[in-house]
Structure 1
């Protein structure tokens, strides 16, 4: 990490929990948890809206106060792990990663060094 971030992880989780739904598709829901392995990271669980029954788990780590690295951890369909390489899942994943990056940009006001 280039610039040191002195940010309370609980505050980070709360900020993501409040902000992320604004960047998701209508009807999607998100749960944000602290990443126990990374004090500058959060885990994001996103339930896709509608009849799709897809849920996505992402690991989101701060590279610096402005940029996050987003990794897809798991995709489930109706509670069962599914192949992440299908076209529909790749498209949904790309869409969610873009939304996550947009949310991180919006949260720059709290992650930038004071």
Structure 2
């Protein structure tokens, strides 16, 4: 990574841009919150709640490797407030969909993060 490619956007501004953009990417009434990771200035914490009767919640960390590339880590999946097995096919499909939405959000913000 070159020094020119380092993320230079203040974390609070980046979190707000993610909140605005991610909400447009999610569908079917799903909601998300985006918080700054107080320990890591290059990382955002994303919490997604599914709509409907499933009562599923997903926690991801989104780390900027540089101004364009992100690394997404799933930290927790809960159903009805209890940790649940994310290894089932249906859960893996949902996780894959949300990862795609997170990548789409990062791509939509390239103009902002790669100035």
Alignment of 1:1-114 (within 5 A): 1-2=1-2, 3-113=5-115
TM-score normalised by length of structure 2: 0.93
Structure 1 residues not aligned, in runs of 5+: none
Q: Which runs of 5+ in 2 are unaligned?
A: none
For 2:66 and 2:28, the matched residues in 1 are separated by: 29
TM-score (norm. length: structure 1): 0.94
Aligned length: 113
- RMSD in angstroms over aligned alpha carbons? 1.0
Where does structure 1 differ by over 4 angstroms across 4 or more consecutive aligned residues? none
